[in-house]
Structure 1
Amino acid sequence: MGRERDLPHPSHVMNKSWQRSGLAHNNFPSLRPDNDIKSTNAPHEPRHRQFHLLAKMSTNAKVKPGQLWGKSKDDLKKQLDELKTELGQLRVQKIAGGASSKLTRIHDLRKSIARVLTVINANQRHQLRLFYAKKKYLPLDLRPKLTRAIRRQLSKKDASRVTEKQKKKQTHFPVRKYAVKAE
């Protein structure tokens, strides 16, 4: 909300005072139809907006998750190392007093590292699921979480088991069927 303070409300654009001040439709960048966000050479833009636009332009090195899924484990490890070294360098530059556009780059790098790690972990878990598919027991972290009560429930097989005595009772004294005789 605070960023829009220096912008006129669209209803005020046709106002004569706006036209006299030179901020009418033809001079105001955000109201021009052919406005290009990437152009930062607008001197009338506030300083914080210019930095914001520069930061948007420098995010071209974001890692796309779609490209990561097809990569091998070695490629992913290599990319992760590169991203981490770049992040370390940027943090050093930040302390040394680098440009503020580097701060948004740090954010993007951290998110890219998270994406790579997510793909690595997902692949690892997939391999583990394949390995344990035919085994009797699954590791705890691969089992379904559900709720504590459901996890502690008897299996259907165990719940339907009956003692020998109960089985004999059921066969010899089944539930009687009653019917009203039609007259």
Structure 2
Amino acid sequence: MTAKVNVAELREKSKAELLQTVSQMKKQIIGLRHQHASGGSGSQGVKIRELRKNIARVLTVITQEERKKVLLASKGKRIPLDLRFKKTRAMRRALSTSELNKKTLRQKKRITHFSVKKYAIKA
């Protein structure tokens, strides 16, 4: 039975090596499907499922590395739309905290000269 691929080991490999492992896994899965179709033992289904998940893991590592490179390259520039955080539409359009705290000159004067009065009641 094929073992689960270790993702930490995959991250150390280059993109070319990862693509090579994907192609090898795809060849294995084709052979297993052929055996399964020709009436082999029932364990091929489990192996096929595990191989499909391993392929997905390798492809995920590849895309994560590519996204990381693009984000580093766009540091200080506009981040591409597909790499921005989704959040919600309202959250994306909301003002940042620094923008919210900015006050006009008139607002500053009004706050300083007409601040809220606090009264203490003597018991």
Q: TM-score range by the shorter chain?
A: 0.7 to 0.9
Residues 145-171 of structure 1 deviation map (CA, whole Å, 9 limit, x = unaligned): 222221111234544363xxxx35754
Distance 1:79 1:174, change over 3 A: same
| 2-structure distance, mates of 1:118, 1:173 | 54
Shift of 1:173: 8.9
Distance 1:120 1:171, change over 3 A: same
Stretches of structure 2 lacking an aligned partner (at least 5 in a row): none
Residues 28-177 of structure 1: matches in 2 within 5 Å?
58-59=1-2, 61-135=3-77, 137-159=78-100, 160=102, 162=104, 167-168=105-106, 170-171=108-109, 174-176=112-114
Distance 1:93 1:65, change over 3 A: same
| 2-structure distance, mates of 1:84, 1:179 | 75
The normalised TM-score by structure 2 is: 0.79
| 2-structure distance, mates of 1:158, 1:73 | 42
Aligned residues: 117
Larger radius of gyration: 1
| 1-structure distance, mates of 2:107, 2:69 | 50
| 2-structure distance, mates of 1:172, 1:111 | 63
Identity of aligned residues (%): 38
Residues 85-136 of structure 1 deviation map (CA, whole Å, 9 limit, x = unaligned): 111121122111111111111011011101101111111111111011121x
| 1-structure distance, mates of 2:107, 2:49 | 71
Compare the two structures and name the one with the higher helix fraction: 2
Paired amino acid for 1:175 = H
Paired amino acid for 2:19 = K
Q: Which has the higher contact order (CA 8 A, sep 6+)?
A: 2
Paired amino acid for 2:114 = R
